[in-house]
């Protein structure tokens, strides 16, 4: 079949998962953007429509456009592509809004071209789009969107990403406080140097968390979901972070941390029942503050980005 | 059976395995100390004999004595214990000489007491002995000796150590250059702060290496056996480190690094044939220097410390 148009669902994702700052991410269900990508007779990439969010149509200023161009430049074709984006993930929410657009664009174009690139290869193109959003290229959101499940970015130059096992009961609770917190601000407050002692704790915890994913050892996941490096600083930007974390852990969460660079926060739980309790506990803490918010419960999306049949 | 005497083999080990500085260690075959531990009617711990090395018999000044006392204080008994140590692992060699003595002492006494403690619990006592040797407590040598195989130290306070999978073909080549390099000197030259960027690389690599152990992915082991934090500094103390590393990698090694805090270095290979080639390559580089050395080839010892039958 020679497809001329494709409709996709590009899901939200959580990066900077506690001990896995800049390397560990996972993909969510339900919450995600929809995109339509269409072959055109004239070469080049165009963004023809964006709904749900005010974002530039100029492909040089839009993460989806930059990512799409990176792919098209690496695989010249006589045809061009036009992209429609139906944003459901709010920009600046910390659950991979720009990554979803970037990953969606390259995924869709790759499908229409007959899949010249593997999902792993698409990460590099999507990263170029991500670079616009965060000020530096990173792959910890686009990787779980493109590969599904939980991913580890070993290296970005060259791109080397490992898909990790995804225990079936692992469930995420996401709180999105509706405050603005642009990624590059959140990046700036991180110290450029860290103590070796804390770095060692961090890599001990990350190693243990990965081992726990392989062994489905929820107790060990809980002991290792820690971040002594970035969270102590960045959490100061998030209203009532400490209380939210305490309430989540008390309600049975395995761990609690900042999603991406915030303001969204996540809890991980074993199973949906505990996720519901954690969600209630979070709402109880956050509601009285008076800041508008959204809350989602989601199992880990082990498939990642997908085609919506016509 | 009420044992009154036990003879054990306490093997050498490699700690600070590249990306796993201070957390990752593995246990060797063949090279190791022998120890005899005997119940006595009078309480307390005595070291009655040390052969093969000049080390203090005073239990307050001997890692085996300190470790043994830590255990005995935690589990008071009417009997006492005397220890004979037949050192085969040279002190200061970087392959866990003090750890073997400390682990051996607590393992042996625990057996004679009827195993009141698990192997995991023994790590804490053995660490106290290790504290004397290195100036700070660490568990990355005693853990693989006591648990066998490859271990990850997630935390030392409290002790939380994970035994990782041990791919059967994984083989180590150990070069011990006979130069003196006391552990606390090697520790002093490490910087107390590291760049966040390099720390992220390190934890990405460690995560990938652990994933590779689970999946027996030797290619990924090779890509992730890196250390941009400690090795660049410490390797300056080891004659011809760069050449040795290059020759080993060219001969097929998956990775090459400093064992413990040196001066020993290790290569890891897939299988014994490559290990033999790597060993030859190392000897070719090191022989002309004129420094005395020993070289060992060893598969990973997945059992760890063991009882020698009478």
Which residues 7-26 in chain A show a CB within 8 A of chain B?
19-24
Q: Work out the average pLDDT over B267-292.
A: 97
Q: Work out the average pLDDT over A208-217.
A: 98
Residue A305 and residue A6 in contact, taking contact as beta carbons nearer than 8 Å: no
Task: List pLDDT tens digits, range B77-136.
Answer: 889 999 999 999 998 899 999 999 999 999 999 999 999 999 999 999 999 887 766 666
* Residue extents of the structural domains in chain A: 5-164, 170-299
Q: Would you tell me how many other CB atoms lie within 10 Å of the CB of residue B132?
A: 18
Alpha helices in A171-216 (DSSP H): 183-188, 196-215
Considering only CB atoms, B21 lies closest to which of A164, A200, A229, namely A200
Q: What burial class does residue B236 get, using C-beta atoms within 10 Å of its C-beta: 0-12 exposed, 13-18 middle, 19+ buried?
A: exposed
**Residue to test with chain B: of A17, A166, A198, A200, most B Cβ within 10 A:** A200
Residue B190, chain A, CB below 8 Å: the answer is yes
Q: How far is A198 from chain B (nearest CA, A)?
A: 9
pTM over cut 0.90: yes
Instruction: Judge: A204–B22 Cβ closer than 8 Å, yes or no.
Output: yes
| Per-residue model confidence (pLDDT) at position A134 | 64
Any idea how long chain A is? Answer: 310
A-B contacts at Cβ under 8 angstroms: 122
Which residues 97-156 in chain B show a CB within 8 A of chain A?
152-155
Task: List pLDDT tens digits, range A216-261.
Answer: 999 999 999 999 999 998 998 899 999 999 999 999 999 999 999 8
Q: Work out the average pLDDT over B27-54.
A: 94
Instruction: Judge: B210–A210 Cβ closer than 8 Å, yes or no.
Output: yes
Tell me what percent of the residues of chain B surpass a pLDDT of 90.
83
- Domain range A170-299, its CATH number among 3.40.50.12140, 3.30.70.890, 3.40.718.10, 3.40.50.920: 3.30.70.890
Instruction: Judge: B162–A199 Cβ closer than 8 Å, yes or no.
Output: no
Match 């100390």 to its residue by tokens. B33
Q: Please, what is the end-to-end C-alpha distance for chain B in angstroms?
A: 14
Residue of B nearest to A24 (CA): B204
Instruction: Judge: A199–B203 Cβ closer than 8 Å, yes or no.
Output: yes
Which of A182-196, B36-50, B292-306 shows the lowest per-residue confidence on average (mean pLDDT)?
A: A182-196
Q: Would you tell me how many other CB atoms lie within 10 Å of the CB of residue B111?
A: 14
Residue A223, chain B, CB below 8 Å: the answer is yes
Residue B211, chain A, CB below 8 Å: the answer is yes
Instruction: Judge: A210–B211 Cβ closer than 8 Å, yes or no.
Output: yes
| Per-residue model confidence (pLDDT) at position B187 | 63
Instruction: Judge: B24–A207 Cβ closer than 8 Å, yes or no.
Output: yes
For domain A5-164, say whether CATH 3.30.360.10 is its number.
no
- pLDDT above 90: residue A182: no
CA distance B5 to A49: 82
- pLDDT above 80: residue A196: yes
**Rg for chain A, CA atoms, rounded:** 19
**Residue to test with chain A: of B147, B162, B218, most A Cβ within 10 A:** B162
Using an 8 Å CB-CB cutoff, list chain A residues near B205: 154-155
Rounded to the nearest integer, the mean pLDDT of chain B is: 93
Q: Work out the average pLDDT over A49-63.
A: 91
């Amino acid at each position: 079949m020679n497809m001329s148009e494709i409709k996709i669902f590009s899901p939200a994702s959580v990066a900077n998962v506690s001990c896995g700052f800049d390397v560990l991410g996972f993909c969510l269900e339900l919450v995600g953007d929809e995109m339509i990508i269409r072959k055109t007779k004239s070469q080049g990439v165009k963004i023809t429509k964006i709904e749900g969010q005010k974002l530039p149509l100029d492909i040089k200023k839009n993460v989806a456009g930059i990512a799409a161009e990176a792919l098209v430049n690496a695989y010249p074709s006589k045809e061009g592509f036009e992209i429609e984006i139906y944003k459901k993930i709010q920009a600046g929410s910390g659950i991979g809004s720009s990554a979803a657009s970037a990953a969606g664009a390259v995924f869709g174009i790759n499908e229409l071209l007959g899949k010249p690139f593997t999902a792993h290869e698409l990460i590099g193109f999507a990263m170029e789009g991500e670079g616009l959003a965060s000020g530096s290229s990173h792959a910890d959101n686009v990787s779980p969107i493109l590969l599904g499940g939980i991913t580890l970015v070993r290296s970005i130059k060259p791109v080397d990403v490992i898909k990790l096992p995804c225990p079936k009961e692992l469930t995420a609770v996401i709180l999105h406080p509706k405050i603005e917190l642009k990624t590059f601000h959140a990046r700036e407050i991180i110290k450029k140097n860290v103590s070796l002692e804390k770095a060692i704790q961090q890599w001990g915890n990350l190693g243990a968390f990965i081992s726990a994913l392989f062994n489905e050892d929820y107790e060990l996941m809980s002991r290792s979901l820690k971040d002594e490096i970035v969270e102590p600083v960045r959490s100061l930007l998030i209203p009532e972070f400490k209380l939210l974390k305490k309430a989540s852990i008390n309600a049975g969460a395995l761990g609690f941390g900042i999603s991406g660079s915030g303001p969204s926060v996540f809890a991980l739980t074993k199973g949906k029942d505990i996720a519901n309790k954690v969600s209630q506990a979070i709402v109880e803490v956050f509601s009285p503050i008076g800041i508008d918010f959204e809350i989602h419960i989601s199992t880990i999306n082990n498939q990642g980005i997908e085609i919506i049949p016509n």
